[in-house]
């Protein structure tokens, strides 16, 4: 295969590819705050890097990423797209790929935001429910954290949610020219500590009535100025590579088994109750 990047292929190459392989990986990320030491595109790299490592193991191709979804952050540079808009795009892309003949569509989130992920899962479930043409299409959502538990370093008593050790190590290993460790700053110690123990601490939720029936107004707390929610001071390139190896190997093994099982059931017409 000349390239694992679908966007670099020609019509002829995709046509030839589909004769022997019907698997494709679809990454998505977001443009959002990642402190002063990491780029706004962190979660795009967070999607693309693992996807290409996985594609090498599966010998498959990677679709161009969808680079926008919902962040929730509101510091300069962050671009929020409503989950409904994001889901409509994902569903359209999945249908387009399935109509071309792709049977195994692996969606890889580079952004861990629960709002987009929950909305996407339900949107895809309903899409398959209403579209009989997708009956034999296996749509799978992958996350490296399903296959690898982050090892905490001594002194890490909270969680490494965002712009911390894990993400900084990943970038130092694979995109080190985009990391500015000399610009590393965090929020005030009290704020930082709370964000390490509660991923939603940065949110300020209010209502006018105080009644549980009212939809809340959500804003980012004004005291959050940097947005680091982890331990970037522990970051190291070797840990970034090790983390990827620990996650992508088991993930690839699971996907191979899933594709083999799906292929058998497509031929036999068998369905697995879940």
pLDDT at 156 (0 to 100): 83
Structural domains in the chain (count): 1
> Does 144 map to a domain?
yes
> Does 118 map to a domain?
yes
The string of pLDDT tens digits covering residues 45-83 is 999 999 999 999 999 999 999 999 999 999 999 999 999
- The domain spanning residue 144 has which CATH number? 3.40.50.10310
As a dihedral over the C-alpha atoms of residue 162, residue 78, residue 119, residue 201, rounded to 10 degrees, the angle is 50
> Does 1 map to a domain?
no
User: What is the mean predicted confidence (pLDDT) over 14-23?
Assistant: 98
pTM metric for this prediction: 0.94
> Does 156 map to a domain?
yes
> Does 274 map to a domain?
no
The string of pLDDT tens digits covering residues 176-233 is 999 999 999 999 999 999 999 999 999 999 999 999 999 999 999 999 999 999 999 9
Which structural domain, as residue segments, surrounds residue 68? 6-268
> Does 224 map to a domain?
yes
């Amino acid at each position: 295969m000349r390239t694992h990047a679908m966007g670099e292929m020609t019509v002829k190459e995709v046509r030839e590819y589909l004769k022997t392989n019907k698997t494709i990986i679809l990454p998505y990320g977001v443009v959002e705050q990642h402190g002063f030491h990491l780029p706004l595109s962190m979660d795009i790299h967070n999607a693309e890097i693992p996807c290409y490592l996985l594609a090498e193991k599966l010998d498959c191709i990677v679709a161009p990423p969808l680079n926008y979804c919902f962040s929730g952050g509101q510091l300069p540079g962050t671009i929020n797209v409503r989950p409904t808009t994001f889901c409509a795009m994902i569903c359209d892309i999945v249908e387009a790929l399935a109509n071309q003949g792709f049977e195994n569509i692996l969606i890889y989130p580079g952004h861990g935001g629960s709002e987009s992920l929950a909305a996407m899962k339900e949107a895809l479930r309903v899409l398959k429910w209403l579209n009989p043409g997708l009956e034999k299409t296996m749509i799978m959502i992958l996350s490296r954290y399903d296959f690898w538990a982050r090892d905490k370093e001594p002194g890490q008593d909270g969680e490494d949610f965002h712009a911390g050790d894990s993400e900084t190590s990943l970038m130092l290993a694979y995109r080190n020219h985009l990391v500015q460790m000399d610009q590393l700053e965090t929020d005030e110690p009290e704020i930082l500590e709370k964000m390490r123990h509660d991923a939603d601490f940065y949110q300020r939720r209010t209502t006018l009535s105080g009644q549980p029936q009212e939809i809340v107004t959500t804003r980012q707390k004004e005291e959050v100025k940097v947005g680091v929610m982890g331990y970037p001071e522990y970051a190291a390139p070797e840990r970034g590579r090790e983390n990827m190896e620990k996650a992508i190997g088991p993930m690839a093994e699971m996907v191979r088994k899933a594709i083999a099982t799906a292929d058998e059931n497509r031929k036999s017409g068998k369905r697995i109750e879940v």
